Every structure is written in structure tokens, then in C-alpha cells.
């Protein structure tokens, strides 16, 4: 059986318009009113892409441990950046940061993901549901914010969603085309983001769930022939999946170091080091590139130790403990992503999702759950649980992969639109308008978006921080503000715990600063204020006794200060 995606010219027109709106929100929020500066991670991911193109990812990882999670998909950023600059020479003369146009690679992938969100929702629940899912995607501030930066998060979300879509298509409709695409997209997902490795248990759960009735029936009836055929088909699919995935990973890393024996690796994580203790594995040649296996090891090492991740922060508390034996140790919050979802996802979207679950419950007897909804709910639940047990709790972007599944799932609420009563229709329309208003209220600062549960936006830092709020993306706004406000003092501690002071974009020494006249404003990063990127004691006096009077692009906070604050600012330095 083949799926049919034909729909009217009017619907095609609407689809194009919505996608153009999405691209407009992504692109204009990059250029208006000031281009956002590259955040803390974008330069790293861009350079990682360059290393992939050179075929030196493993070499780079050996030189710098922080480059041990290089993924081949990052190569798209420098490729798109150079392509744009070659096709449009004028772009080289714009006053933009180097690597800026690499962001368009993420925008392109995000548009492709938007199309798949529409397609899957339309196939499940109809064309109107397809448009609702697309609108939820297009107007989600977290999607927009992560669709215009140079990172792996959106790549991971897109590749995971598309892989599971084709796995569903293969199981549901068969055909060689879906078979090949389900295998290829699984492999491609593995070179986009390390979290794609969890597709393995997801595929197993979904596959068993999809065929559970046939399996039980064959066992009960002792139908040996059917059982043998099922096992043969499964073995064929698994072998094809493994071989094609290894080939894709090798191509992605230019076969660099493929075939090295397991015992020759210098692993960091205890889990991978344990594998090397078994003689049977130690001399085993691994037919995948060195950089990929080291990336898996590095990811596991970060889970075990919290190394390389920012300190978790939630509701005014930093996530760490002082162990009597191990000393300082990062400790996550089990409820982190639950709270993050509650505050960072638009309220209208959350209501749509809850309506989807109510609809699921009301129509539970008519559902073919393991044939349809399971492919949306199982990945969402599994990824949410896995990420919540991880110490890498620095932003909602770590659960970005669940968003497309939730949008498709929520769209089921308009399946019977013609039969719905007027109040229900009005509710859907009002919620959609509310989503649009909430979105535009943060334009163009979508990374820092919080929903209306945060009444005073200056106080968002008391709920969440890091890449939820301050990812270093607004340095250009800071420079512009300091230039226009000579009475403002920017204060920051660097990595060496050294105090840096800036007035009118010029570094100054403490003796050059007068808090009597004209300096009366203090500007500080949200992450510095709460102690994520510096000693939390440095600004305890400020966050415990003062409230900001204003904010700058949400990630910088502005306080009123006086000469009495001189001791607090300079006294210990």
C-alpha cells in the first residue's frame, strides 16, 4: 500500500505561505534590530564542521578533549556559509560576524523538518491537522530560536523525527522505498547527534508493539512457519540497518581510523574502559571511525562526571554537591525538564497537547495505538526520561527532539472539525491567536523565551538560566547599549576569576570608576549573577538584596547602583 499526499492547490498555497512565514521569522529575527552575535557554542560547532571536511576529526579530538563529540552533520555549516558568500559576494561586506551565514544550514534543515511534521500529521489525522501541527511548529519560540544557530540540536531533532517517520511508514505501508528510507535515515541520524543512538531501543519497542498481536497469535497457535518468517525478516532488516549505518558513519568521518583495535583506544568513561578489560574485546578491530567511538565514549564520560557541561540551575538553586570523597560534583535535578517544559513551552501549545491526551482517552477504543500514536508517544516519553536522568541540564534544547512528535500528536484534536460545536472551534482559534501573540512578544529574542507564567520578564533568571536565557547570543546588544549609556558599568569575572570592568566598550581599572558620578547603572550577565559561569559568591550581595530595574535582550540585567556599592563591587578584588 502506498501513501498518497495529494491535496488541493489551495492547500498547497497555504502550506507555502506558512513555511515562508517560518523562514521570515527565522531570518528577520537574525537581522532585526541587531544581528545576534554567535553564542558560546557556535564557533566550536562551525570549526567541528571544518575538521569533518578536512577528514581530521579524530586528530582534533586527540588535541583537544572538548572536540571529542564532533558530528559529521556539522560540516553543513561551513559548506552553506561558503556557498552563500560565493554566490552573493555582497554578503562579505555586511557588518556580520565571521561564520554568520553558517546559520542558514540550520534554517534549511528546520524547514525540511517542518514539512515532515505537516506530512506525518496529515497522513494520521487529515489535512487540517497537518496545518495545525505545522502552525505549532512554526510559532514555537524554542524551535525558531534553535533553527537559526550553529549547533547540533535541531539537526538531531530533525533526523530522529524523520527516521522514526520512515520506520512507521515501512511498518505501516511496506514497500521497498520505505524500507530503504527507514534504513538510510536511521544511519543519517547517527551522524547528526549522539542521542540518535537511543533509536535502537525505540525501534525495538515500536517494532514489538506493532507486531505484538501477530507474535502472540503465532506463539499461541504454534505457527512455526510464521515465526520463522518473522525472524528471517527481522534478521535481514537488522543486518541491513547495521551495515548501512556503519557505511554512513564511515563516509561521514572519511573512514578516519576505522578498523582500530578496541585496546588501542584511550577511553575516558568507566563504561568503555570496562570493555577493554575483556581479552575477547581488547584485540577486536572496530569497523567504525575513531572519532565516532570516541564521541560515544566522551558522551558517556560527561554523563558519569558532568564534565564539559554547565552547572544545572533550577528555581534559584545550583545543581552540585560536595562529596566527602570525590569533592565537588555536579548533580542534576530529576524534575529539571518538567519545570523547563512548563515555563519555556507556550501555554497555548501545552493546552493543545493536553487536549490531545484527552482526545486519546476519549477515543481509546477506536484507536490503533501501536500502529500510530505509539510512534509519537514512545520516543517522547523515552527521550524525556533519558534526558531527565542526565546531568547535562543546561537548556530545553536537550529535549528539542520531542517537540515535533508532540506537535503531530496535538494536531489530532481537529480530526473531526466539521462535527465540532462552535465553542470548541472558538477555543482552538483563540489558542492559536494566543500562541501567535506570545511568540511575537519575544521577537526577536526567542532563545530567551519564557511563557506567561513568568509575569515579570526581568526575573526569568530566578527560574532558569544558561542556554534557556543567556547563551552569549546578545553581545552585540550589550556593545550598543554601553555605547549609548556612558553611565553604565558592565562587570564580569573571566575564567581566571579576574574582575573585568567595561565602560563605553572600553576596559577600565577599578580606580577609574566612580560610582558617584556619572556611573549609576550596573550591567551583568544572568549566568554571572547566579553563579553558573563564575563563583556564586561573587554576586550574592546583588541577587540577594536587589532586583533588576531593566533587562537588555533578557540575558543582561541592569541594576541601579550607588557609591555605597563600591565595597561590594571592588572590595574583594
Confidence of residue 3 (pLDDT cuts 50, 70, 90): very low
129 closest CA partner among 359, 382, 346: 359
Query: Helix H segments across 191-265?
Result: 199-210, 212-220, 224-252
What does DSSP assign to residue 405? H
Strands, sheet with 521-525, edge to edge from the N-terminal-most edge strand: 506-508, 499-503, 488-493, 521-525, 556-560, 550-552
Task: Note the pLDDT of residue 6.
Answer: 58
408 closest CA partner among 383, 376, 360, 431: 376
Confidence of residue 161 (pLDDT cuts 50, 70, 90): very high
Helix (H/G/I), strand (E/B), else coil: 7: coil
Confidence of residue 567 (pLDDT cuts 50, 70, 90): confident
CB 488 within 8 A of CB 549: no
Confidence of residue 392 (pLDDT cuts 50, 70, 90): confident
**Lookup: cell for 130:** 497537518
Cβ burial of 572 (10 Å; 0-12, 13-18, 19+) is exposed
| Spatial CB neighbours of 251, under 8 Å, sequence gap ≥ 6 | none
Taking the C-alpha atoms of residue 400 and residue 158, their distance in angstroms, rounded to an integer, is: 9
Q: To the nearest 5 percent, what fractions of the chain are helix, strand and coil?
A: 65, 5, 30
Taking the C-alpha atoms of residue 498 and residue 220, their distance in angstroms, rounded to an integer, is: 72
Query: Is residue 431's pLDDT more than 50?
Result: yes
Query: Is residue 4's pLDDT more than 80?
Result: no
212-248: pLDDT as tens digits: 888 888 888 878 888 888 889 889 999 999 999 999 9
Task: Note the pLDDT of residue 573.
Answer: 43
Per-residue HEC secondary structure of 324-381 comes to CCCEEEECCCCCHHHHHHHHHCCHHHHHHHHHHHHHHHHCHHHCCHHHCCHHHHHHHH
Task: Note the pLDDT of residue 251.
Answer: 95
**Radius of gyration, alpha carbons of the chain:** 26
Task: Note the pLDDT of residue 2.
Answer: 42
What does DSSP assign to residue 525? E
Instruction: Flag the least confident range among 7-11, 41-45, 67-71, 471-475.
Output: 7-11
Task: Note the pLDDT of residue 322.
Answer: 54
Task: Report the pLDDT averaged over residues 15-26.
Answer: 86
Task: Note the pLDDT of residue 94.
Answer: 63
- Measured from the Cβ of residue 24, the count of other Cβ atoms closer than 10 Å reads 11
Residue written as cell 515579570?
456
41 closest CA partner among 234, 309, 247, 229: 309
Q: Which residue has the higher pLDDT, 326 or 124?
A: 124
Helix (H/G/I), strand (E/B), else coil: 389: coil
Q: What percentage of the chain has pLDDT greater than the value 90?
A: 49
140 closest CA partner among 353, 407, 425, 380: 407
Taking the C-alpha atoms of residue 322 and residue 313, their distance in angstroms, rounded to an integer, is: 16
151 closest CA partner among 48, 59, 55: 48
Q: What percentage of the chain has pLDDT greater than the value 70?
A: 94
Half-sphere exposure of 439 (CA within 13 A, CB side): 24
CB 531 within 8 A of CB 539: yes
337-352: pLDDT as tens digits: 999 999 999 999 999 9
Backbone angles phi, psi at 327, to 5 degrees: 75, -145
Q: What angle do CA 5, 433, 350 make, to 5 degrees?
A: 75
CB 475 within 8 A of CB 483: no
Per the rule left: phi > 0, alpha: psi between -120 and 50, beta: everything else, 372 is alpha
Give, for 551, the enclosing helix (H) or strand (E). Answer: strand 550-552
Taking the C-alpha atoms of residue 554 and residue 86, their distance in angstroms, rounded to an integer, is: 35
Task: Note the pLDDT of residue 237.
Answer: 92
256 closest CA partner among 64, 51, 102, 426: 51
Amino acid at each position: 500500500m502506498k501513501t498518497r499526499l495529494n491535496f488541493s492547490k489551495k492547500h498547497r498555497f497555504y502550506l507555502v505561505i506558512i513555511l515562508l512565514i517560518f523562514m521570515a521569522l527565522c531570518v528577520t529575527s537574525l537581522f532585526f534590530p541587531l544581528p545576534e552575535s554567535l553564542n558560546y557554542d557556535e564557533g566550536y560547532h562551525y570549526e567541528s564542521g571544518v575538521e569533518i571536511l578536512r577528514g581530521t576529526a579524530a586528530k582534533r579530538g586527540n588535541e583537544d578533549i572538548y572536540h571529542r563529540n564532533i558530528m559529521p552533520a556539522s560540516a553543513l555549516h561551513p559548506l552553506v556559509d561558503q556557498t552563500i558568500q560565493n554566490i552573493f559576494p555582497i554578503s562579505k561586506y555586511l557588518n556580520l560576524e565571521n561564520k554568520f551565514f553558517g546559520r542558514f544550514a540550520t534554517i534549511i534543515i528546520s524547514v525540511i523538518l517542518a514539512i515532515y511534521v505537516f506530512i506525518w500529521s496529515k497522513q494520521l489525522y487529515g489535512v487540517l491537522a497537518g496545518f495545525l501541527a505545522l502552525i505549532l511548529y512554526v510559532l514555537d519560540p524554542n524551535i525558531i530560536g534553535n533553527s537559526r544557530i550553529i549547533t547540533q540540536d535541531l539537526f538531531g531533532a530533525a533526523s530522529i523525527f524523520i527516521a522514526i517517520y520512515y520506520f512507521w511508514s515501512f511498518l505501516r505501508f511496506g514497500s521497498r522505498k520505505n524500507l530503504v528510507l527507514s534504513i538510510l535515515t536511521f544511519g543519517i541520524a547517527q551522524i547528526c547527534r549522539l542521542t540518535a543512538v537511543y533509536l535502537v531501543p525505540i525501534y525495538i519497542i515500536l517494532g514489538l508493539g506493532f507486531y505484538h498481536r501477530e507474535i502472540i497469535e503465532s506463539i499461541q497457535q504454534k505457527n512455526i512457519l510464521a515465526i520463522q518468517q518473522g525472524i528471517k525478516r527481522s534478521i535481514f532488516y537488522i543486518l541491513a540497518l547495521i551495515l548501512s549505518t556503519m557505511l554512513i558513519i564511515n563516509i561521514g568521518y572519511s573512514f578516519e581510523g576505522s578498523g582500530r583495535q578496541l585496546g588501542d583506544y584511550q577511553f575516558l568513561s568507566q563504561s568503555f574502559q570496562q570493555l577493554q578489560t575483556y581479552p575477547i574485546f581488547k584485540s577486536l578491530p572496530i569497523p567504525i571511525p575513531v572519532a565516532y567511538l570516541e564521541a560515544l565514549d566522551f558522551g558517556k564520560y560527561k554523563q558519569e562526571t558532568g564534565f564539559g557541561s554547565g552547572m544545572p540551575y533550577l528555581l534559584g538553586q545550583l545543581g552540585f554537591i560536595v562529596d566527602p570523597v570525590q569533592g565537588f560534583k555536579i548533580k542534576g535535578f530529576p524534575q529539571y525538564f518538567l519545570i523547563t517544559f512548563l515555563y519555556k513551552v507556550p501555554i497555548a501549545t501545552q493546552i493543545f497537547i493536553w487536549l490531545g491526551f484527552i482526545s486519546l482517552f476519549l477515543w481509546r477504543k477506536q484507536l490503533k495505538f501501536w500502529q500510530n500514536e505509539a510512534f509519537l508517544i514512545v520516543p517522547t516519553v523515552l527521550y524525556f526520561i533519558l534526558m531527565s536522568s542526565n546531568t547535562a541540564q543546561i537548556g530545553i534544547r536537550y529535549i528539542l527532539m520531542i517537540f515535533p512528535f508532540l506537535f503531530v500528536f496535538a494536531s489530532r484534536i481537529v480530526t473531526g472539525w466539521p462535527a465540532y460545536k462552535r465553542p470548541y472551534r472558538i477555543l482552538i482559534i483563540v489558542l492559536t491567536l494566543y500562541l501567535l501573540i506570545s511568540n511575537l512578544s519575544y521577537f526577536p529574542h526567542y532563545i530567551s523565551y519564557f511563557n506567561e507564567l513568568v509575569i515579570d520578564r526581568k526575573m526569568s533568571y530566578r527560574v532558569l538560566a544558561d542556554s534557556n536565557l543567556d547563551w552569549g547570543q546578545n553581545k552585540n546588544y550589550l556593545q550598543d547599549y554601553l555605547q549609548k549609556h556612558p553611565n553604565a558599568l558592565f562587570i564580569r569575572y573571566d575564567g581566571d576569576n579576574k574582575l573585568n570592568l567595561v565602560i563605553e566598550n572600553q576596559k577600565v581599572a577599578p580606580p577609574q570608576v566612580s560610582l558617584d558620578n556619572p556611573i549609576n547603572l550596573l550591567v551583568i550577565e544572568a549566568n554571572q549573577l547566579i553563579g553558573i559561569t563564575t563563583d556564586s559568591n561573587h554576586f550574592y550581595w546583588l541577587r540577594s538584596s536587589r532586583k533588576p530595574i531593566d533587562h537588555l535582550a533578557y540575558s543582561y540585567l541592569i541594576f541601579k547602583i550607588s557609591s555605597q556599592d563600591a565595597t561590594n563591587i571592588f572590595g574583594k578584588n
